[in-house]
Structure 1
Amino acid sequence: MPRLDVFLVTTGKFPSRQAAKRAIKAGHVFVNGSTAKPSSRVLLHDEVQIIDTPFEYPLGYSKMKALDEIIDSPLVSPGDLVLDIGSSAGGFLIYLLEHGANVVGIEYSTAFKDNLVEITEKFSSVSILFDDAFRMDPNIICESECIDFLVIDVTTDPVGTLKLIQRFIRLLRPGSRLIAAFKSKGNNILLQKIQDCVMRCGCDTIKFHNLDPSQQELHLVAVRR
């Protein structure tokens, strides 16, 4: 008799217990026609019903999906090696893993540890490093030019994001894509400074995307020369 939250994950209804718990507590999961608790036990003949819910994936999942739809070519191909700096609750990770990528995530905050550990238990092609991307040695990940896709989404100012690009860009293969989130709406002067810095790091084909005009966030997409 598994717990309800465990049952929802093992049957593939949710990517993690944290996501399942949020949906259960929000009243989106019914057992035999009634709401239940995450700790409720599911019996063999119980009927479990899930109504449409926005809690199935962490927020980053929808962001990565939106970027994948905006960009002309697919973000990843099966077997690609991806480095995700600032994994947070794992939304980017889950999207990339579902599309066949092998992903290394870096996360500093232990607040997301439970979420990320559950993702590693569900997917065999992911590993998580709980470390400080500003201080760690990038060579821990791999040698230069071995990453097929570099994603950076860290809660810092634009200068901090640029520092991370400078530190990790050498791991990216020539011709491969970088996506970096900047926590600022940006003005023309700031965007030009960001673009100039990213070009000096060895990238071209630079574009900015604003996925949600109500948020102070821009996503830079570039390709390494």
Structure 2
Amino acid sequence: MRLDSYLVEMGDFSSRGRAKRAIIEGHVRVNDRIITRPSYDVAYADRVEITGDLDKPAGYWKLKEIQEKTNLIREGDRVLDIGSSAGGFLLFASEIASHVHGIEFSREFRSELKKLAHERPNITIEFGDVFTMPVDREKFDVLLMDITASPLSSIKALENVLPALKSKGLLLQVLKLPKEREREPVLMRLSSLGLEIIQILEPEKEEIYIIAKKSTKYFEKL
């Protein structure tokens, strides 16, 4: 049997995709030997070991790394997660915040997100279009924005949900922005929304993570 399929069958991972990633990254040993090939043939008699708790969505590890560098989320915060997908941001944020509310457009993730909300009492889920849906004003301390869209479309969605962030609240804006020359217009647009850019993180992937604070002057612009 393929190693990735074996790990799912044994209940070590909830999907082959997560199992495959763990194998490729060198977190799985078979008979004391690290195996990095998901298609590796394994038998039930083999001794299979996994290092660490890896059965979490990729977003969990992304936000964990950002948190370690920025201390974005603090204990007791109320967090709004836009573009929850498989729930990685939700899962990590729920370990710190008092409440995390996720909004997702795609019904593809309905079962995963509802399961997560059932298992974590401080997580709530809503399905809707973040470009048009109404939001409660000044309700959240932290806003997480990571949607599959162009930078300009992402900022358009941000404009609609930004009123939900409290004055002086913090924003994490993830943008698919590979070209250096495209950055300045985007940063200027964020500033025009009453956001103070605090920090920019640049991972190896073709995206940037922008940490910003909502200005007390924000509502003067409305």
Q: TM-score, normalised by structure 1?
A: 0.74
State yes or no: 1:194 paired with 2:186. Answer: yes
* CA 1:207–1:77: 2 relative to 1, 3 Å: closer
Structure 1, gaps ≥5 residues long? 9-13, 37-48
State yes or no: 1:203 paired with 2:195. Answer: yes
Contact 2:18/2:56 (8 A) holds in 1? no
Give the match for residue 62 of structure 2: 63
State yes or no: 1:135 paired with 2:132. Answer: yes
Give the match for residue 224 of structure 1: 214
Mapping of residues 33-112 of structure 1, within 5 Å: 35=44, 51-52=50-51, 55-71=54-70, 74-112=71-109
AA partner of residue 67 (structure 1): I
Give the match for residue 14 of structure 2: 18
State yes or no: 1:151 paired with 2:148. Answer: no
* CA 1:133–1:50: 2 relative to 1, 3 Å: farther
- 1:81-119 C-alpha deviation (Å, 9 max, x unpaired): 111000011111110001233111011112212221111
Q: TM-score, normalised by structure 2?
A: 0.74
State yes or no: 1:113 paired with 2:124. Answer: no
Structure 2, gaps ≥5 residues long? 1-6, 31-42, 216-222
* CA 1:29–1:58: 2 relative to 1, 3 Å: farther
State yes or no: 1:165 paired with 2:154. Answer: no
Contact 1:195/1:206 (8 A) holds in 2? no
Q: CA deviation at 1:21?
A: 9.4
Contact 1:66/1:211 (8 A) holds in 2? no
- 1:152-187 C-alpha deviation (Å, 9 max, x unpaired): 100000111110221111211122110111112132
Stretches of 4+ aligned residues off by more than 4 angstroms: 19-24, 26-30
CA RMSD, aligned part only?
Answer: 3.1
* CA 1:56–1:202: 2 relative to 1, 3 Å: same
- Aligned partners of 2:116, 2:99: CA distance in 1, in Å? 13
* CA 1:98–1:165: 2 relative to 1, 3 Å: same
Contact 1:19/1:55 (8 A) holds in 2? no
SS in 2 for 1:221: strand
* CA 1:114–1:181: 2 relative to 1, 3 Å: same
How many residues are aligned here? 192
More relative contact order, 1 or 2 (CA 8 Å, 6+ apart): 1
